Amino acid sequence: MHAIQQQYWAVRDYLSPVLKESKFKEHGRITPEEFVAAGDFLSYKFPVWTWERGDASKARDYLPTDKQYLVTRGVPCLRRATSLAYTDADEDAERLLNFGDSSDGAADEWVETHAGRKPTVDSAANPGEIDDIPDLDGDQELASAIGNVSISSTTGATVGETPDLDDIPDMEEEGLEEGEDEATAVPKSVTSGAVIDVSQIEVAKGNLLQVRTYDVMITYDKYYQTPRIWLIGYDENRTPLTPSQIFQDVSADHALKTVTIEAFPQSATLQAASVHPCKHASVMKKVIERMNVGVVEEQLAARKKEGKEGKKRWGFGRKSGKDDKNASAGGEEEEIEGMRVDFYLVVFLKFIASIVPTIEVDSTTAF
Amino acid sequence: MPVVQFNPFASLVQPAFWHELTRLKVDVLRLSDDELTLAGSYSVGRSIRDRETGQDVALGCNLSLGADAFDKTPTVPALSVSARGVFKNFNTIDEFKAADKAALFNTVADEMWTSIIDHKDTSKLNRFLLITFADLKKYQYYYWFAFPAFVAKPSWEIADNWKAAEEHLSADQLTSVFNALHADTKPYFIVKLTDGAAQLHTINQADTLLTGSDSQSIIIGFLDPSASPENPGWPLRNLLAYLLALYPSHTTFLRVLCWRDSEIPSPGKSWKSRFGVVSHPAGNDAASKPTALGWERHPTTNKLSARMADLAPMMDPTRLADQAV
């Protein structure tokens, strides 16, 4: 059933036309050219992001061959999203975003959680933290007992598929290397200095930190005309995460609803977790509108300060239709451009960060 | 003086690599178990500030393999270097278990040593070995990495512990090292300090640089995948073995720069690179081949054993269908 659905999506994606006209401020969608421009800006500003070619047989002809998708590897994820206790105090942090015509009452709504989450959270205020991680310790013990076989028993879907212990051979080798090597660093139990090592975290059971890392990919979704985000996770032992483990890092409002495991479009076989893009355009429109007001105000203020002498161009972004209107209104207004499309992916990452609050995808805090 | 302890490499295999191996095994290799060449890569060590405790958490000292590992010319991201490896896949689990692992390991180590002694070649210093058995029906992959490193006897010692590089190099000097590395990332290099700047040279020029009159301004540098403040990464170990073998009279004091900065720090932040002066008593029989070690330990048991990646939850069509909505 799932396979048929994926076939259907592939055909739909193939048939849908490539968006030609730039309308990112009007409805939050972008053209492939704008995706490339925004991606170039993102990878220039934040070199952790790089362009990838992907599988040649899956290349999209509306994107340059060497710029098929963006990737950043080893994004740390220190805590599980499920461990972010959701208390009454956090309710203010929840924002309901409305889409579509609010007049007809049938507007879609999107819950943005952790919107106002402070950089530091008083752990005493979150007493439920430990209880909220289901079965994690049990898994851990079992996993180490049978030689780190990753099993996923946190959801009902995979219960009963515990591997047969006899199947996993004991492969410890004796006599391969003699004794301990004094020059090999071993994880120390006592930390000295401010930096702690990942390996110490897993040793200390009481510690809530379990550092996972994620490879994050951004592709362009032709049907929804928005970027789309993909996640491949690793646990602290660098073993690939199972789908149910990945869902622990997705905020509860979005896990299993908007985040699903699907075939990664730039590879023949790879599967990855993805945030479904059906709401991206409308959310992006909202966010861009809000930010655009701020940007325009800022630019107006800056321009007033500069006075007449300041004939400085505000960047090199393409002009939108709004600019042309402004231009006809008066020569000076021409310079007020608002937010450029180059910023699209920077904003997009901030939006994604609200869905996966503990994965540090948003390295763009400078903005 | 404390012994220098190196942070061993930790292998990180991207699922895309297992997918590529599966494709290769089914379509190209079939039953062949010949050795192949692999290309992995490692980057500068990273640490992350925990937003809730304010602590810096050092991420692992990773060497990663991606989908392009079997390519002849893989692309490496910025400030990463490629490391070549020997790959051997076995057809059955019994062959995998019975394989003469010591012999495989020694072959790689011998090749590394020969390249040092005969060719003064640094390109093989970060060689690795990967043996695998792929259970394609169950989507399970047994694998074991080895990162051979030569053991120095007696061990290298460090006089005054590892310090922030900023204490010994000026911001201008660090910036010029960064720019040179950004333009052309090298796994190993020699920094020659001049007033307010630094020049980067290849290790091959150690001959003239180490013996030169101004040896005080010479620093041995390497791209450090470790982020732990006390421990430099594994690649330094073979670099020191290389220098000890070829220039035994200059190893009484070596100034070492562990390069860990992937970007120029923003104002108010400090550089992450480390600096230290290591020493080794001169005059031992350097030309004989030292012993080598470096099998990766199992991350949970810390024993010398192979490990397994179970990709069934992400590859098995029936399991995927189960969780699809």
Rounded to two decimals, the ipTM of the complex is 0.87
Interface test with B, best of A140, A195, A203, A235 (most B CBs within 10 A): A195
pLDDT in the model for residue A187: 60
Beta strand B47-49 with B56-58 is antiparallel
Q: Which has more confidence, B20 or A22? A: B20
In tens, the pLDDT along A137-161 reads 434 444 344 343 333 333 333 333 3
Reduced to 3 states (helix: H, G, I; strand: E, B; else coil), residue A37 is helix
pLDDT above 70 covers what percent of chain A? 55
The Cα-based distances of A168 to B136, B141, B153 in angstroms read 15, 11, 38
SS3 B208: helix
Identity at B207, one-letter amino acid code = D
Distance CA B192, CA B214 (A): 9
Partner-chain contact A238 B56, CB within 8 Å: no
- The minimal CB distance from B320 to the residues A48, A182, A261 is found for A261
**CATH code 3.40.140.100 region(s) in chain B:** 157-279
| Element at A140 (helix H, strand E) | helix A136-145
- pLDDT-derived band at A1 (thresholds 50, 70, 90) equals low
CB A272 within 8 A of CB A264: yes
The label of the residue with tokens 């893989």 reads: B74
Give the E-state strand segments of A240-292 in sequence order.
259-263, 271-275
pLDDT score recorded for residue B210: 81
Q: Chain B residue closest to A176 (CA)? A: B102
CB-count exposure of residue B142 (10 Å: 0-12, 13-18, 19+): buried
What local confidence, expressed as pLDDT, does residue B9 receive?
Answer: 94
Contacts of B22 in chain A (CB under 8 A): 269
Chain A closest-CA separation from residue B257 CA (Å)? 18
Residue A120 at interface with chain B, using a CB cutoff of 8 Å: yes
Residue pair B234/B6 in contact (Cβ under 8 Å)? The answer is: yes
Contact (Cβ atoms closer than 8 angstroms) between residue A33 and residue A20: no
Which CATH number is associated with domain B157-279?
3.40.140.100
Out of B142, B298, B324, the one facing A2 most closely (by C-beta) is B324
Q: Which of the four pLDDT bands, split at 50, 70 and 90, describes residue A101? A: very low
CATH topology (fold) of B10-152+288-323: Cytidine Deaminase; domain 2 (3.40.140)
- If one counts every other C-beta atom within 10 angstroms of the C-beta of residue B174, the result is 22
Contacts of A67 (CB under 8 A, 6+ apart): A36, A39, A40, A51
CA distance A274 to chain B (A): 12
Region of residue B68 (left: phi > 0; alpha: psi -120 to 50; beta: else): alpha
pLDDT at A168: 47
Mutate to test the interface with B, among A55, A269, A276, A359 (most CBs of B within 10 A): A269
Q: What H or E segment, with its residue span, contains residue A4?
A: helix A2-15
CB B307 within 8 A of CB A148: yes
Pairwise CA distance, residues A362 & A353, whole Å: 6
Least CB–CB distance from B16: residue in A239, A257, A270? A270
Query: Of A111, A278, A302, A329, which one is the catalytic site residue?
Result: A278
More confident residue, A82 or A351: A351
Ranges for all domains in chain B classified under CATH 3.40.140.70 = 10-152+288-323
Q: What is the pLDDT of residue B277?
A: 92
Tell me whether residue A77 is one of the annotated catalytic residues.
no
| Spatial separation of the C-alpha atoms in residues B90 and B97, rounded to whole Å | 9
- Which tops the pLDDT comparison, A249 or A89? A249
Q: Where are the alpha helices (DSSP H) in B41-184?
A: 93-98, 101-119, 171-183
CB contacts of A78 in chain B (<8 Å) are 48, 50, 52, 57
List, for chain B, all residue ranges whose pLDDT scores fall below the cut of 50: none
Name the residue with higher pLDDT: B187 or A197.
Answer: B187
Chain B's closest residue to A75, CA to CA, is B48
Q: Is A117 on the interface with B (CB under 8 A)?
A: no
Contacts of B136 in chain A (CB under 8 A): none
Q: Is A312 on the interface with B (CB under 8 A)?
A: no
Asked whether B274 and B165 are in contact (CB, 8 A), the reply is yes
A121 touches chain B (CB under 8 A): yes
Burial category of A163 from C-beta neighbours within 10 Å (exposed 0-12, middle 13-18, buried 19 and up): middle
Which residue in the block uniquely carries the two structure tokens 């510690």? A207
pLDDT at A300: 83
Helix (H, G, I), strand (E, B) or coil at B188: strand
Tens-digit pLDDT profile for residues A308-359: 444 444 444 444 444 444 433 444 444 566 778 888 898 899 888 888 888 8
Contacts B144 to A, Cβ<8 Å: 171
The reply to whether A123 touches chain B by the CB within 8 Å rule is: yes
How many helices and strands, by DSSP H and E, does chain B display?
8, 17
Nearest CB to A211: which of B10, B19, B57?
Answer: B57
CB contact, 8 Å: A268 with chain B? yes
Q: Does the N-terminal peptide bond of residue B290 adopt cis geometry, omega within 30 degrees of 0?
A: no
Interface of A with B in 32-91 (CB under 8 A): 47-48, 50, 73-74, 76, 78-79
Strands, E assignment, chain B: 10-13, 36-43, 47-49, 56-58, 62-65, 80-90, 128-135, 140-150, 157-158, 163-164, 188-194, 197-201, 218-223, 254-259, 274-279, 292-295, 307-310
Amino acid letter, residue A245 = Q
Say which of B50, B102, B151 has its CB closest to residue A78. Answer: B50
Q: Is A102 within 8 Å of chain B by CB?
A: no
- Average pLDDT across chain A, whole number: 68
List chain A domain ranges.
1-100+110-154+195-367
| Token output for A363 | 């390295």
Calculate the CA B9 to chain-centre distance.
6
Whether A270 has a pLDDT exceeding 90, the answer reads: no
Work out the pLDDT band at A10, boundaries 50, 70, 90: confident
